[in-house]
Structure 1
Amino acid sequence: MDKKNILPIFSSYHMESTFYDEVFKGKNEIRDTYKKLFQLFNEYQVEDFELLNEKAKVSFLNQGITFQVYDKTTTEKVFPFDLFPKIITANEWEHVESGALQRSKALNLFLHDLYHKKQIIKDGIVPLDLINSSENYLKQMEGIEPSGGIYNHISGTDVIKHSDGEYYVLEDNIRCPSGVSYVVSNRVATKRALFGVFNNYPTHSVSNYSENLLDIMQSVKPAGVDIPVCVVITPGIFNSAYYEHSFLAKSMGIELVEGRDLFVENDFVYMKTIYGPVKVDVVYRRIDDAFLDPKAFKPDSVLGVPGIFEAYRKGNVTLVNAPGTGVADDKAIYTYMPQIIKYYLDEEPILNNVHTYHCSRPKELDYVLNNIDKLVVKPVDESGGYGISIGSKLTKEEIEKVKTVIKASPRKYIAQPIMALSTHATYIEEEKSFEPRHIDLRTFTLLGKDKSFVLKGGLTRVALKRGNLVVNSSQGGGSKDTWVLKK
């Protein structure tokens, strides 16, 4: 890059021509949206920015903003945060927001159909064997009518900007999508470190998520309940997202409970308190289906509440999100999203799908096995970036191992072209300078009874390692504040 008028911490920035750079559009040429911000950063010397960066890290540490990484050992880490935000214009955001809401609505209708008439299967749009072979399909949910008709009250849609400058959806997350607490915390850290910066950018707030989530939860209260008692249930302090569970409960002003704090009597759910039992009406669950109720699912679970599913089945308590939603965010179902949207909404998809090969189909399996070096292979039911194989990064021996794993269980794997995730200027502490790093964006959509909400912002995740395309925090990724500009 031409170093003229480039501050020291940007002096080693080198654009990669094969990727869409969100900040720069050419040598030493800043995109219009970022010009004011770049001028602000241009006022800092390296030493000054290091102090600001350290201030942000201390802020996260003091707030307890951490996450757990599960490997050979369990490690708690401070969530990595970069002070240079991703900025989204009002027009660009309208496109992303409408696309995320469209997908959430279509997936909710899809789930209702799957657990009732299965008309989309009868009409030959989605194959029956794909549903029957899904580990996340719950036969126990068949025929249940959730309050307000909502299954996926909370959806996380992961989008990227490709080298063509267009947004593509990587995947839909509607079991227990996490990360929204970091969205709010990122904004707080940015405001503290970059005093006055928002005077130059009219940016939508992200602090209203919790009040909207509580409103959505209350909208799907059981029949006959006037003022619902809502709680957040967590697996406990050792869960990777425990910080988020406690953050959301506190910001909504409701109780954070574990399974041992609740009990079921006469098919109603109660919370133990020092004043005696209190009936609970809505449970925002951060416990996986299998561990939710030892009477209905995994018998040896000590995390859930015995009998809570029967209370749910009888309409005496609402579970957010509904059990069994995982069948719709199975990455194999993602393949059919354009057809699902068209089938239920009679609309064309607003956001692009990434072309996806499902290994259960013989022709597609053959293509994947012969082209792994050009593909990303993903397990259909994993999250957090675990189990992903990026073909271009593998040795010949590793490719053969991946082939063996796929052939042993084709239904469990999909493959996609290696997408050229956009890059964004990111401060790299080891280099004491900004460098381009790959990013994606998780949006958060809420659906309730006759209402919806999309958070105007989201979690911009950053692959901090040079050349890495996996942005998940569990794989060494970090995050940025996300600014959605007002018109």
Structure 2
Amino acid sequence: MPVQDSTIFSSYERNHDLFDELYDNNGKVKEIYQKLFNLYGAHSIEDYMRLNEKAKSSFFNQGITFQVYDDKEMQEKIFPFDLFPRIIDAGEWDVIEKGAIQRSRALNLFLHDIYHDKKILKQGVVPLELISSSENYLHQMMDVDPPGGIYNHISGTDIIKHKDGNYYVLEDNIRCPSGVSYVICNRTALKRALFGVFNHYETHTVTNYAENLLDLLESVKPKGVDSPNTVVITPGMYNSAFYEHSYLAKTMGVELVEGRDLFVENDFVYMRTIKGPVKVDIIYRRIDDKFIDPLEFRADSALGVPGLFAAYKKGNVTLANAPGTGVADDKAVYTYMPEIIKYYLDEAPILNNVHTYHCSRPKELAYVLEHIPELVIKPVDEAGGYGISIGNRLTKEEITKVKKQIQESPRKYVAQPIMSLSVHPTYIDETNSFEQRHVDLRTFTILGKDKDFVLKGGLSRVALKRGNLIVNSSQGGGSKDTWVLKS
């Protein structure tokens, strides 16, 4: 039913079956949002339309875009941004932060183990076949010790709030997690459009990410290096996340390079400059494993640097994240995260997994094939929301097709119950009104040699299509500024 509390929210309709982050079960605005609700409620829809256009202009002028690919063409789009922020109180954030750090540390230990002694595999805690069959398990990383002992320097943990009010982890992203630049730009755009709202809340900053990233990367510099030279390597301007690559290089104060800008000599990496070669010690890479070195992986790669992996194996350069980390963010490995955390840290998970069926297990495969309308089917090695099938949205023909795909390659698929992501008031351009939209949260954790850092905010992603549960920008999603309140 519509909420009649104020002008700007007068047409807002609440579905009582969903967990609304603004309203409680009695239809009252939650205390944490009351000041914000009053401030926004003082604006008419016409005022808000103008502010929304101002925010869009801010994104356009900053060049904040992303690429969307389909079968026919590539499109560049402005990243959709909603001006009404999401608020997380200090107590809830403490749980999220501790849970994100716990998972990152456990995954780092897991990666070291499976590329060295394989104790967790030998003891049968995680099946050997699960790892050996992963496309992202790199035999070239066997017995390689990354500088500082860190594999997953940057982790992106995707978290939802369910209708029971609890947080659950949907997946871990530790190859090249993206989106952090949008966190910072969301804050900038909101301050430009509605600076006054920040006077009423004490929120943690998000603009300290780059300095912490550089600091923690430098903590895992190669041995014998006093003042490391760091670069960000990008596939180039046509990559979907190129804006982020350039933004992070700029804010860290380091060079943004492509593979052709680097070369290897005597197992050391150098950057070509107008003043001659400059040694490179740390590379924050935004290039997939198979493209980083044509001498070691794909011979046809024009994106990487010949000899880079040999320099890395000798400890002469740090690669962040380490090659081969993708085996640990395989969605099939995700099903073992509670066991992985218990095995390496002797702790219970702080953040729960969503119950997940792995189709390589015969009993679970049989269940999935019989209950597809009740499940979300995910390929284990895709990202960006691609390849996901939501069972209750499928036609009979589509269900038949999904069944066939699963049966042909069970190892490639997992399934989860259709979780009811929390909803948040979101301004919709087409209707010029606020409507309920599903949201999730991607946190960003950085591991260093002796310390770690979690960005106090993260990326709240919004599914802009009514009823949609897929929040990725590549699938038409947008984002909100995320306020973590100081205690």
* TM-score, normalised via structure 1 length: 0.99
How many angstroms apart in 2 are the aligned matches of 1:28 and 1:445?
35
Q: Residue 206 of structure 1 corresponds to which residue in structure 2?
A: 206
Q: In the TM superposition, what whole-angstrom CA distance separates every residue of 1:231-272 from its partner, at most 9, and x where no partner exists?
A: 000000000000000000000000000000000001000000
How many angstroms apart in 1 are the aligned matches of 2:5 and 2:410?
54
Aligned partners of 1:137 and 1:324 also within 8 Å: yes
Deviation at 1:12, TM superposition (A): 1.9
SS in 2 for 1:91: helix
Q: Residue 413 of structure 1 corresponds to which residue in structure 2?
A: 413
Aligned partners of 1:357 and 1:414 also within 8 Å: yes
Q: Residue 153 of structure 1 corresponds to which residue in structure 2?
A: 153
How many angstroms apart in 2 are the aligned matches of 1:11 and 1:4?
5
1:374 and 2:365 are equivalent in the alignment: no
Q: Residue 227 of structure 1 corresponds to which residue in structure 2?
A: 227
SS in 1 for 2:24: strand
Q: Which moved more, 1:340-349 or 1:17-26?
A: 17-26
Q: Residue 123 of structure 2 corresponds to which residue in structure 1?
A: 123
Q: Residue 24 of structure 1 corresponds to which residue in structure 2?
A: 23
Deviation at 1:14, TM superposition (A): 1.3
How many angstroms apart in 2 are the aligned matches of 1:392 and 1:291?
38
Q: Residue 391 of structure 1 corresponds to which residue in structure 2?
A: 391
Q: Residue 65 of structure 2 corresponds to which residue in structure 1?
A: 66
Q: Residue 450 of structure 2 corresponds to which residue in structure 1?
A: 450
How many angstroms apart in 2 are the aligned matches of 1:287 and 1:269?
16
Deviation at 1:4, TM superposition (A): 3.7
SS in 1 for 2:57: helix
1:13 and 2:12 are equivalent in the alignment: yes
How many angstroms apart in 2 are the aligned matches of 1:4 and 1:420?
25
1:309 and 2:296 are equivalent in the alignment: no
Q: Residue 215 of structure 2 corresponds to which residue in structure 1?
A: 215
Q: Residue 98 of structure 1 corresponds to which residue in structure 2?
A: 98
SS in 2 for 1:185: helix
1:78 and 2:78 are equivalent in the alignment: yes
How many angstroms apart in 1 are the aligned matches of 2:366 and 2:238?
41
Aligned partners of 1:2 and 1:27 also within 8 Å: no
Q: In the TM superposition, what whole-angstrom CA distance separates every residue of 1:129-167 from its partner, at most 9, and x where no partner exists?
A: 000100000000000011110000000000000010000
SS in 2 for 1:29: coil
Aligned partners of 1:161 and 1:167 also within 8 Å: yes
Q: Which moved more, 1:53-62 or 1:187-196?
A: 187-196
Q: Residue 471 of structure 1 corresponds to which residue in structure 2?
A: 471
SS in 1 for 2:256: strand
How many angstroms apart in 1 are the aligned matches of 2:14 and 2:400?
34
Q: In the TM superposition, what whole-angstrom CA distance separates every residue of 1:203-244 from its partner, at most 9, and x where no partner exists?
A: 000000000000011011100000000000000000000000
Deviation at 1:15, TM superposition (A): 1.2
Deviation at 1:6, TM superposition (A): 2.3
1:57 and 2:56 are equivalent in the alignment: yes
How many angstroms apart in 1 are the aligned matches of 2:20 and 2:438?
9
Give the aligned residue type for 2:329: D
Give the aligned residue type for 2:184: V
How many angstroms apart in 2 are the aligned matches of 1:168 and 1:369?
25
Q: Residue 272 of structure 2 corresponds to which residue in structure 1?
A: 272
SS in 1 for 2:48: helix
How many angstroms apart in 2 are the aligned matches of 1:3 and 1:236?
47
How many angstroms apart in 2 are the aligned matches of 1:342 and 1:378?
25
How many angstroms apart in 2 are the aligned matches of 1:408 and 1:17?
40
Q: In the TM superposition, what whole-angstrom CA distance separates every residue of 1:421-452 from its partner, at most 9, and x where no partner exists?
A: 00000000111110000000000000011010
When residues 336 and 376 of structure 1 are mapped into structure 2, their CA distance, relative to the original with a 3 A threshold, is same
Give the aligned residue type for 1:404: K
Give the aligned residue type for 2:258: E
Q: In the TM superposition, what whole-angstrom CA distance separates every residue of 1:60-102 from its partner, at most 9, and x where no partner exists?
A: 0000000000112100000000000110000000000000000
Give the aligned residue type for 2:38: Q
How many angstroms apart in 2 are the aligned matches of 1:25 and 1:463?
21
Give the aligned residue type for 1:131: I
SS in 2 for 1:196: helix
How many angstroms apart in 2 are the aligned matches of 1:424 and 1:195?
21
Q: Residue 404 of structure 2 corresponds to which residue in structure 1?
A: 404
How many angstroms apart in 2 are the aligned matches of 1:195 and 1:45?
17
Deviation at 1:2, TM superposition (A): 5.3
How many angstroms apart in 2 are the aligned matches of 1:58 and 1:140?
47
When residues 28 and 127 of structure 1 are mapped into structure 2, their CA distance, relative to the original with a 3 A threshold, is closer
Deviation at 1:28, TM superposition (A): 4.3
How many angstroms apart in 2 are the aligned matches of 1:15 and 1:160?
19
Aligned partners of 1:6 and 1:28 also within 8 Å: no
Deviation at 1:5, TM superposition (A): 3.1
Q: Residue 333 of structure 1 corresponds to which residue in structure 2?
A: 333
Q: Residue 296 of structure 1 corresponds to which residue in structure 2?
A: 296
SS in 1 for 2:384: coil
What are the residue-to-residue correspondences of 1:418-429 with 2, within 5 Å? 418-429=418-429
Unaligned regions of 5+ residues in structure 1, if any? none
How many angstroms apart in 2 are the aligned matches of 1:114 and 1:259?
29
SS in 2 for 1:195: helix
Q: Residue 195 of structure 2 corresponds to which residue in structure 1?
A: 195
Give the aligned residue type for 2:343: Y
Deviation at 1:13, TM superposition (A): 1.2
Q: Residue 41 of structure 2 corresponds to which residue in structure 1?
A: 42
Q: Residue 133 of structure 1 corresponds to which residue in structure 2?
A: 133
Give the aligned residue type for 1:419: M
Q: Residue 183 of structure 1 corresponds to which residue in structure 2?
A: 183
Total equivalences in the alignment = 486
Which stretches of structure 1, 4 residues or more, deviate above 6 A after TM superposition?
none
1:352 and 2:352 are equivalent in the alignment: yes
How many angstroms apart in 1 are the aligned matches of 2:271 and 2:310?
17
* TM-score, normalised via structure 2 length: 0.99
Deviation at 1:3, TM superposition (A): 4.5
Aligned partners of 1:2 and 1:28 also within 8 Å: no
How many angstroms apart in 2 are the aligned matches of 1:440 and 1:99?
16
How many angstroms apart in 2 are the aligned matches of 1:290 and 1:32?
50
Give the aligned residue type for 2:120: I
How many angstroms apart in 2 are the aligned matches of 1:326 and 1:424?
32
Aligned partners of 1:335 and 1:356 also within 8 Å: yes
Give the aligned residue type for 1:444: F
SS in 2 for 1:327: helix
Q: Percent identity?
A: 72
Give the aligned residue type for 1:371: H
Q: In the TM superposition, what whole-angstrom CA distance separates every residue of 1:324-364 from its partner, at most 9, and x where no partner exists?
A: 00000000000000000000000000001000000001110
